[in-house]
Copies of this chain bind each other. A is one copy, B any other.
């Protein structure tokens, strides 16, 4: 069997409580004893059993991270940063995705709740009412969703989307489309509200729509028929799918239609034409969410976004 605290105690000639304190409250044990215990523990290869520890303390040193879709390039940088932040404080991170299914959010939260000290829920699709139920069962940090009384990290996508639209207006576009995201997405609502009244710009809304490449592909015809010269898409993947679809229809980007994405993922950055996008600080968000969760600070943190102009936008065709 594995070596326990008792084995170490016996090998040292001290009581188990002394060994325990050596690890969990070092200042309470004599310096000499401490080094002796540590040496023996090292020699025996002792590693504390976290299950046993969490049984008495009630804390697990684990965190849960729930995202909508692991395969969406938007999330991996967030997960990576969250994981690093957790590790830096001796926490481990459970990761799960919901496949964009609100019901799975609740299921996962319940499944995690007895096993973690807190949960980071990213881009939830559940209703506010459903979320309110969940957040009171365990410490929570929400990413890209605002909810009264809940610690939150949001990226200021409204501002970014507005800047993007102003960029299109500045290029001379007059009629543009907004391809909105999935139902239940707070981000999508924010974007929609933010771009409702950009001076000099007439906006048609297309969607709701799946936040994937297929989602973009599927509405290409609709966009092409909408009589617009510019598009702001819910995220980079949708933007790319849309460009692919437009391409098949013989519509060029940015020659015929300008397209802007949102999120700044690697896939958009490397795409050709290089995607003009509203870059979101996903890594910062992941790191901060975990840090907030661990320190149990309650706060509403807003991270800035910024427009990255690349090659998928240009003046509309008529202009010089």
Which positions in A face B, CB cutoff 8 Å? 2, 47-52, 54-55, 60, 62, 69-71, 73, 75-77, 79-80, 83, 87, 92-97, 110-115, 213, 240, 244, 266-267, 270-273
Cross-chain contact of A270 among B48, B92, B213 (Cβ < 8 A) = B213
Note all chain B residues with C-beta closer than 8 A to A79: 70, 95
Rounded to whole Å, the gap between the CB of A262 and the closest CB of chain B is 16
Cross-chain contact of A76 among B2, B48, B71 (Cβ < 8 A) = B71
Q: How far is the CA of A30 from the CA of B45 in the complex (A)?
A: 45
**B60–A71 contact, CB under 8 A?**
no
**A94–B97 contact, CB under 8 A?**
no
Closest B residue by C-beta to A90: B111
Q: How far is the CA of A49 from the CA of B115 in the complex (A)?
A: 8
Give how many copies assemble into the complex: 2
**A113–B51 contact, CB under 8 A?**
no
Closest B residue by C-beta to A283: B71
Question: In the complex where A77-B71, A267-B270, A270-B213 touch, is A55 in contact with B47 (Cβ < 8 A)?
Answer: no
A-B contact pairs, 19 of them (CB 8 A): A47-B113, A47-B114, A50-B115, A51-B54, A51-B55, A51-B115, A62-B94, A71-B266, A73-B266, A75-B76, A79-B95, A83-B95, A87-B96, A92-B96, A92-B111, A92-B112, A92-B115, A267-B267, A267-B270
Note all chain B residues with C-beta closer than 8 A to A95: 79, 83, 93-95
**A76–B70 contact, CB under 8 A?**
yes
**B96–A50 contact, CB under 8 A?**
no
Q: How far is the CA of A271 from the CA of B94 in the complex (A)?
A: 32
**A50–B92 contact, CB under 8 A?**
no
Q: How far is the CA of A35 from the CA of B105 in the complex (A)?
A: 27
**A80–B55 contact, CB under 8 A?**
no
Closest B residue by C-beta to A271: B270
Rounded to whole Å, the gap between the CB of A116 and the closest CB of chain B is 9
**B54–A83 contact, CB under 8 A?**
no
Q: How far is the CA of A71 from the CA of B264 in the complex (A)?
A: 13
Q: How far is the CA of A295 from the CA of B267 in the complex (A)?
A: 36
**B112–A97 contact, CB under 8 A?**
no
Note all chain B residues with C-beta closer than 8 A to A77: 70-71
Cross-chain contact of A52 among B48, B55, B92, B267 (Cβ < 8 A) = B55
Q: How far is the CA of A115 from the CA of B267 in the complex (A)?
A: 35
Cross-chain contact of A48 among B93, B96, B114, B266 (Cβ < 8 A) = B114
Note all chain B residues with C-beta closer than 8 A to A87: 96
